[in-house]
Amino acid sequence: MQNLLPPQLHVFVRDWLSSNNILLKSRDGHVLIDSGYVRHAPLTLALLASERGLGHDPLAKLVNTHCHSDHMGGNAAVARAYDCPIAVPEGERPLIERWDEVALWIGYAGQSAERFTPDESLYAGERYVWGDLEWHALAAPGHDMGALVFFNAEHGILISGDALWQNGFGLVMPPQVDPAALPATRATLEMLATLDVGVVVPGHGEPFADVAGALDRAFSRVGAFEADEHRVARHALKVLLTFTLLDRQRMPLAGLPAFVEQVPIFRDFNARYFGVSPADLAERLVRELERAGAARRDRGDLVAA
């Protein structure tokens, strides 16, 4: 898929714990979009320093599509290594400046990130030139209410963050937690459908060209969520548990009830939506992860599949 992209745009495809790192090279200065998860920061730095990355060149700027831990967890490490400014979407900046562990889904969701200081804001509607290409920043609220996507009309490239993946989009807060999130998710997909996109560079997974197919799948997921808000809550907890499991690799099954009792987002969603014991919630989530092929039980532990 890299052959659909201009040569100065390189995508380091990562995994579900770390977002993709998108490098835009130019004689005017190289720009990196998203830095991955904090635990993977050494790998992010190694990729950046590789031949396909920067080699020995400096980095002019680090940009975030949005400020969740899998996209900005390595910001501090990258800024330290390259002494470069960090630009975040305008709506994320106050959350980062006060390091809001709830709004950023860090402590609230049992995740971590190294604190950093943003230097610049990015604004929806503005155009930025990175990698000798003009990028139109567009508001893409939903998964993250302050998220931006970046669209290059000349080549039809959309850098979508977690607003659109080949199969779905980033987890969405259920209506009782944020009534605006699901309607915003639909509105963002409708906005993306109006763009003439030839290739999507998502926050996770390989770049892809079947944009219509991805939008169809995303709209049908939104429809299913709109029809059943419990499903939104269940999906979010499944995704968050999978994320923690990827971070820790294995979690003792016996400790899961305490985990869902202690991590605030699990406790909150259980109180609002499920009303079951922590042991019940843990068992339900484990079964769903097994069914989805995301995890398996192994000698008393839950392990990432």
Taking the least distance from each CB to Zn ion, the nearer of 65 and 152 is 65
Region of 18-26, 119-127, 264-272, 277-285 interacting with Zn ion (CB under 5 A): 18-26
CA pair distance 302, 283, nearest whole angstrom: 11
Stretch that binds Zn ion, among 11-19, 49-57, 207-215, 267-275 (CB under 5 A): 11-19
- Considering the complex, what minimum distance in angstroms separates the CB of residue 170 from Zn ion? 5
Nearer CB in complex with Zn ion: 13/49:
13
Residue with tokens 């992209």: 5
Q: Which pair of structure tokens corresponds to residue 263?
A: 């991590």
252 φ, ψ (degrees, to nearest 5): -60, 130
Q: Which two tokens stand for residue 262?
A: 């202690």
CB of 63 to Zn ion, least distance (A): 15
Q: What angle do CA 299, 234, 260 make, to 5 degrees?
A: 50
Residues 213-252 that bind Zn ion (CB under 5 A): none
Size of the site for Zn ion (CB under 5 A): 4
Q: How far is the CB of 148 from Zn ion (least distance, A)?
A: 14
The site string for Zn ion over 157-186 (x = CB under 5 A, - otherwise) reads -----x------------------------
Could you tell me which stretch among 1-9, 17-25, 34-42, 270-278 binds Zn ion (CB under 5 A)?
Answer: 17-25
3-state secondary structure 86-121: EEEECCCHHHHHCCCCCCCCCHHHCCCCCCCCCCEE
* Closer CB to Zn ion, 19 or 152, in the complex: 19
CB of 113 to Zn ion, least distance (A): 12
Q: Which is nearer to Zn ion, 248 or 284 (CB)?
A: 248
Give me the least distance between CB of 104 and Zn ion, in Å please: 12
Locus of tokens 């130019």: 26
Residues 191-210 that bind Zn ion (CB under 5 A): 203
Residue 70 interacts with Zn ion (CB under 5 A)? yes
Q: In the complex with Zn ion, which residue's Cβ is closer, 70 or 247?
A: 70
Kindly report the backbone phi and psi dihedral angles of residue 5, in degrees, each rounded to the nearest multiple of 5, phi listed first: -110, 145
Q: What x/- string results for residues 122 through 161 when contact with Zn ion is judged by CB under 5 A?
A: ----------------------------------------
Residues contributing to the site for Zn ion (CB under 5 A): 19, 70, 162, 203
